[in-house]
Amino acid sequence: MSDAEALKVLETEIRAAIQAAGGVLSFRRFMDLALYAPGLGYYERRSTRIGRAGDFMTSVSTGPLFGELLAAQIAEWSRARCLQDSTVSLVESGAHTGRLAADILEALCRDAPDVFERVIYTLMEPSAIRRDWQRETLESWNGCTRWITGWSELQTGVRGVILTNELLDAFPVTRYIWEASRERWLEAGVQCIDEGFGWARLESATTDRVAELLGHPLPLELLAVLPEGFALDLAAGAAEWWSEAARALTSGRLITFDYGLEASEFLTPKYASGTLRGYLKHRTARDELASPGAADLTAHVNFTTLRQAGVEAGLETEFMGSQRVFLTEVFARRPAMAMGSEAEKASRLRQFHALTHPEHLGRAFRVLVQHRVTPGQ
Ligand SMILES: C[S@@+](CC[C@H](N)C(=O)[O-])C[C@H]1O[C@@H](n2cnc3c(N)ncnc32)[C@H](O)[C@@H]1O
């Protein structure tokens, strides 16, 4: 099926879902279909999505340095007492084509062979299509890679590192809108209009429920000054995912790189229209509902609820800060990064700049690292 045909079929499926829902479909379900409808959604079709030729850049698509720095950090963690003599289990979710896994394995094999020989790299991937792409990319790493579709397939707890890069910002969000005149929250939905789709109001949600999902109180004094139409885009699935990951971790680290906010920041005027964005060819789409399946849809991650979910599962927070600070510290501990030919050094510098400069990925992207403290660590 061509890309255009797939988009047509997807549109028909979304229209049918709206009809089946009685005329208004929750935005969360709309986003889920637009991104993940099997064989049809944005992340289910082969076209180039990520990188210069696609719709947006990620740290992985800037080049192999991101994976090299992560590998250096993983090697350091793997030589600590709690993992010193055991198999090191690396579990990645949201791997897309598997590029980051390949970069990490290559760097470990070259720079940290003592760790590489103990590594099993597991890609947790629910989509059959994306598993095929990943197997292709990782063909030469057959001996140390494996795949699972979800947490229930893990045979033992993870002793090592569970990692994600821009996984959680791709989780479908529920949009809540503040109706100031009636002092209530309404869930936003999607309806069919003429040739396309439009926003509609679904049902009301209690302030307690919205505050719980936001991970921040919404007292009356605050609600009194929230403007009409203030929007919160909240992905309940992200904290649930983090909680499962934290429970799966027996020993080691859980780490994510993502753009996102603390819960209180979602309530600032800057984000009054929510954080949901559509991306197409490196531009923000003006209407997020305009091209389901053709444009990426993404929203800021709520780091407060992630951290809280980890702590509730018994983890301790080790680092929460900008990607710039995190990667600069790793880079500074690796003198080998400044070696090589002039061309290699120049290329690494270019990538490091893209990863850490505040105007590129350095400020907007944040890093959360939590670990499970094991006795005698
Ligand atoms: C923004 S892309 C990031 C891809 C890659 N990590 C990178 O940095 O280039 C998000 C990826 O997460 C995947 N994804 C979304 N939900 C997922 C889930 N529940 N399990 C595994 N992958 C998921 C999407 O299919 C997509 O491949």
String of DSSP letters for 136-162? HHTGGGGGGEEEESSGGG-SS-EEEEE
Are 210 and 198 in contact by the 8 Å Cβ rule? The answer is no
Q: Do the domain assignments include residue 44?
A: no
Instruction: Answer whether 189 contacts ligand 1 (Cβ < 6 A).
Output: no
Q: Which domain does 254 fall in, by range? A: 60-170+237-266+298-372
In terms of domains, do 208 and 303 share one?
no
Q: Which tokens belong to 48?
A: 């180039």
Are 376 and 81 in contact by the 8 Å Cβ rule? The answer is yes
Report the pLDDT value the prediction gives residue 52, as an integer from 0 to 100.
Answer: 79
Q: Do the domain assignments include residue 108?
A: yes
In terms of domains, do 278 and 221 share one?
yes
Q: Which residues of the chain have pLDDT under 50?
A: none
Please tell me the distance between residue 93's alpha carbon and the centre of ligand 1 in angstroms.
Answer: 7
Report the pLDDT value the prediction gives residue 360, as an integer from 0 to 100.
Answer: 79
In terms of domains, do 176 and 262 share one?
no
Report the pLDDT value the prediction gives residue 376, as an integer from 0 to 100.
Answer: 52
Q: Do the domain assignments include residue 37?
A: no
Q: Do the domain assignments include residue 162?
A: yes
Contacts of 147 (CB under 8 A, 6+ apart): 122, 123, 124, 125, 131, 134, 135
In angstroms, the CA 70 to CA 111 distance is: 12
In terms of domains, do 188 and 248 share one?
no
Instruction: Answer whether 97 contacts ligand 1 (Cβ < 6 A).
Output: no
Please tell me the distance between residue 2's alpha carbon and the centre of ligand 1 in angstroms.
Answer: 23
Task: State which of 167, 240, 244 you would mutate to test the pocket of ligand 1, scoring each by most atoms of that ligand within 8 A of its C-beta.
Answer: 167
Nearest CA to ligand 1 atom 18: 94
Report the pLDDT value the prediction gives residue 237, as an integer from 0 to 100.
Answer: 97
The domain that holds 165 is classified in CATH as 3.40.50.12710
Strands 231-234 vs 119-124: parallel, antiparallel or unpaired = unpaired
Q: What distance lies between CA 209 and its chain's CA centroid?
A: 24
Report the pLDDT value the prediction gives residue 198, as an integer from 0 to 100.
Answer: 96
Instruction: Answer whether 93 contacts ligand 1 (Cβ < 6 A).
Output: yes
Q: Do the domain assignments include residue 153?
A: yes
In terms of domains, do 215 and 316 share one?
no
Instruction: Answer whether 34 contacts ligand 1 (Cβ < 6 A).
Output: no
In terms of domains, do 253 and 362 share one?
yes
In terms of domains, do 248 and 274 share one?
no
Q: Do the domain assignments include residue 10?
A: yes
Helix (H, G, I), strand (E, B) or coil at 54: coil
Please tell me the distance between residue 181's alpha carbon and the centre of ligand 1 in angstroms.
Answer: 39
Report the pLDDT value the prediction gives residue 227, as an integer from 0 to 100.
Answer: 95
Report the pLDDT value the prediction gives residue 154, as an integer from 0 to 100.
Answer: 93
Report the pLDDT value the prediction gives residue 48, as an integer from 0 to 100.
Answer: 67
Q: Do the domain assignments include residue 54?
A: no
Q: Do the domain assignments include residue 49?
A: no
Instruction: Answer whether 96 contacts ligand 1 (Cβ < 6 A).
Output: yes
pTM for this model (two decimals): 0.95
In terms of domains, do 133 and 198 share one?
no
In terms of domains, do 262 and 277 share one?
no
Q: How many CB atoms within 10 Å of residue 1?
A: 11
Nearest CA to ligand 1 atom 23: 94
Q: What is the number of structural domains in the chain?
A: 2
In terms of domains, do 216 and 249 share one?
no
In terms of domains, do 161 and 130 share one?
yes
Q: Which tokens belong to 320?
A: 């929460």
Instruction: Answer whether 323 contacts ligand 1 (Cβ < 6 A).
Output: no
Report the pLDDT value the prediction gives residue 316, as an integer from 0 to 100.
Answer: 97
Extended beta strands in 206-241, E state? 231-234
Q: What is the pLDDT of residues 155-211, one digit of tens each?
A: 899 999 999 999 999 999 999 999 999 999 999 999 999 889 999 999 889 999 999
Ligand 1 atom nearest to 150, measured from its CA:
20
Task: State which of 35, 43, 60, 103 you would mutate to test the pocket of ligand 1, scoring each by most atoms of that ligand within 8 A of its C-beta.
Answer: 43
In terms of domains, do 147 and 197 share one?
no
Contacts of 65 (CB under 8 A, 6+ apart): 348, 351, 352, 355
